[in-house]
Amino acid sequence: MGETAFIHATRVGRLVRRNAVRIAAAAVLAGAFAGSAGAVACADGAERNSLSVRTLQTRLMVAALTCDARGDYNAFVRRFRPQLAGYGGMLRSYFRKAYGAGSTHELNAYVTDLANRTSALSAVDRPAFCRASREAFDMLLSAPAQSLRESLIQAATMPAPARDALPACDALTRR
């Protein structure tokens, strides 16, 4: 290596070391945007329901831990297992359609973000969060057996502290 090349390599090395945090942050951001670039962002009515049911399930899961409602959450999951499984499959299908090969990663990121946002909201006004969750548990656990699906959708679409993060529309469009 000639002296000029050595000096240039030394300068580049110093520049990289000084800006390592910025370079790493740029790489992380580039990776984050690469996974979602051009992905379908809209959901149809059934897919919106699956997003809402997942939001409700997450809210009740957080309530189980935050509001000491583990027994109610377990009863909810046992009672609504078939409906939750159906909406879970629909949610996975939506993410496959929206994100293709990256759907599992995107779904996991979505569910994690939803749980984190719901947990943060529960901390803002815990008594109100626990009251709203108690009302949802009461409504769901007392729903007539013949209308579990309708009761689940009703509870899932009630005003709640956290809503799904994906925009919903009837026609599929690109972000």
pLDDT per residue over 102-111, tens digit each?
999 999 999 9
Q: What is the pTM of this model?
A: 0.68
Q: Take residue 109 and report the two structure tokens written for it.
A: 């990121």
Quote the CA–CA distance of 57 and 142 in Å, as a whole number: 17
Q: Which domain holds residue 13?
A: 3-36
Q: In this structure, are 72 and 112 located in the same domain?
A: yes
CA 102 to chain centre: 15
> Does residue 173 lie within any of the structural domains?
no
Q: What is the pLDDT of residue 19?
A: 37
Q: In this structure, are 54 and 138 located in the same domain?
A: yes
pLDDT per residue over 13-69, tens digit each?
443 344 333 333 333 333 333 333 344 457 778 888 899 999 999 999 999 999 999
Q: Take residue 53 and report the two structure tokens written for it.
A: 């049911």
Question: Which among 133, 134, 139, 138 has a CA at the least distance from the CA of 154?
Answer: 139
Beta bridge partners of 117: none
Q: Residue length, the chain?
A: 175
